[in-house]
């Protein structure tokens, strides 16, 4: 496996779907919202994406079986006027710059093959400070989309985020625009530490309103708590595993 592998696990017909992206990032806001949507809306997995740009790693599941780290696309046919959805989630983003470009291009190819109408890239915007009033900051590929988002309560500040938008969320807009596709980035303003369910709630509220979806919020806070617990445990493990990670990399020493 020297190349990224797109593995279609199920066929589904969708009509002008909306793509929602929620890969790991600051405050895990995007991932929290997108994982939650997959669960609440009972979306079905249609594509798995494996790549040498992801860490060389498997996750161990509750039952002792493993899962190769990957990105996944779930699909859902809308009911009663709801739009059809493609939801992109995953364990990791690319570990290399080049991988971000390659994987985003693959995501856009998939979006175009489904004639996706619009992409919503979800993320967090870390302020490094306590956030008391939850807001959602935006960016978009066209001025008309900016206006439309403002109507929906999305906040736009001049030249913010100042550092631009990094990773898949940013490239979905940047490379999407080069293909003439419509894409919007919705960033929950967050302190940026661990998992921020309040920022996620606000992003979900805005996105649900825009899409005309009714997504239950109850489970979101609980899901965030669970994520936090797993991350905490994971960090603890990682400290203990440190020599092993090194072992998987450049620090493997010759021993006879």
**Span 202-221, contacts to a copy of itself by CB under 8 A:** none
Beta bridge mates, 238: none
Write down the residue that tokens 């994982």 correspond to: 35
* Minimum distance from residue 87 beta carbon to a copy of itself (Å): 15
Which of 173, 200, 204, 207 touches a copy of itself by CB under 8 A? Answer: 173
The single residue among 17, 22, 25, 188 that binds a copy of itself, judged by CB under 8 A, is: 25
Supply φ then ψ for residue 97, to 5 degrees: -55, -50
Among 44, 55, 212, 214, which residue interacts with a copy of itself (rule: CB under 8 A)?
55
Q: What is the DSSP letter of 243?
A: H
The correct pick among 31, 76, 118, 198 for binding a copy of itself (CB under 8 A) is 31
- Lookup: tokens for 57: 């790693």
The residues facing 118 across adjacent strands are 18
β-pairing verdict for 44-50 and 118-126: unpaired
Name the nearest CA neighbour of 121 among 135, 147, 141.
141
Residue 43 interacting with a copy of itself (CB under 8 A): no
In this chain, which of 12, 73, 195, 213 binds a copy of itself, going by CB under 8 A? Answer: 195
Is 72 a binder of a copy of itself (CB under 8 A)? no
Separation of alpha carbons 179 and 157, rounded Å: 26
Residue list 81-140, contact with a copy of itself (CB under 8 A): 91-98, 100-102, 104-105, 123-129, 138-140
Minimum CB distance to a copy of itself smaller for 17 or for 51: 51
How far apart CA 74 and CA 79 sit, in angstroms, is 16
10 binds a copy of itself per the rule CB under 8 A: no
Q: By CB under 8 A, is residue 193 in contact with a copy of itself?
A: yes
- Quick one: 75 or 184, whose CB is closer to a copy of itself? 184
Number of C-beta neighbours around residue 121 at 10 A: 30
Cβ proximity to a copy of itself: between 14 and 168 the closer is 168
What is the rounded CA–CA span in Å between residue 203 and residue 176? Answer: 21
The CA distance from 19 to 202, in Å, is 19
Q: How far is the CB of 40 from a copy of itself (least distance, A)?
A: 15
At its nearest, how many Å lie between a copy of itself and the CB of residue 213?
22
Q: Binding a copy of itself by CB under 8 A: which of 34, 114, 122, 141?
A: 141
What is the distance between the alpha carbons of residues 112 and 249, in angstroms, rounded to a whole number? 37
Question: Which one of 18, 122, 199, 227 is in contact with a copy of itself (CB under 8 A)?
Answer: 227
> Helix, strand or coil for residue 115?
coil
Which is nearer to a copy of itself, 11 or 158 (by Cβ)?
Answer: 158
């Amino acid at each position: 496996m020297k190349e990224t592998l797109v593995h279609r696990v199920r066929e589904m017909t969708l009509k002008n779907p909306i793509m929602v992206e929620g890969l790991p990032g600051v405050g895990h806001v995007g991932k929290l919202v997108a994982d939650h949507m997959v669960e609440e809306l009972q979306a079905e997995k249609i594509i798995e994406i494996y790549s040498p740009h992801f860490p060389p790693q498997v996750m161990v599941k509750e039952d002792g079986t493993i899962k190769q780290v990957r990105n996944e696309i779930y699909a859902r046919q809308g009911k009663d006027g709801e739009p059809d959805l493609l939801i992109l989630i995953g364990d990791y983003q690319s570990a290399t710059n080049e991988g971000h470009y390659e994987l985003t291009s693959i995501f856009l190819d998939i979006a175009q093959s489904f004639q996706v109408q619009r992409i919503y890239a979800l993320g967090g915007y870390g302020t490094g400070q306590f956030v008391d009033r939850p807001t959602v900051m935006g960016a978009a590929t066209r001025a008309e989309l900016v206006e439309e988002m403002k109507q929906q309560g999305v906040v736009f500040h001049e030249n913010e985020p100042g550092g631009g938008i990094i990773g898949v969320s940013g490239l979905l807009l940047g490379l999407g625009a080069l293909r003439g596709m419509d894409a919007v980035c919705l960033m929950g303003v967050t302190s940026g530490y661990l998992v921020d369910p309040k920022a996620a709630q606000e992003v979900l509220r805005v996105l649900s309103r825009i899409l005309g979806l009714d997504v239950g919020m109850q489970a979101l806070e609980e899901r965030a708590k669970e994520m936090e617990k797993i991350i905490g445990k994971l960090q603890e493990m990682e400290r203990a595993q440190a020599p092993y990670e090194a072992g998987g990399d450049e620090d493997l020493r010759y021993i006879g």
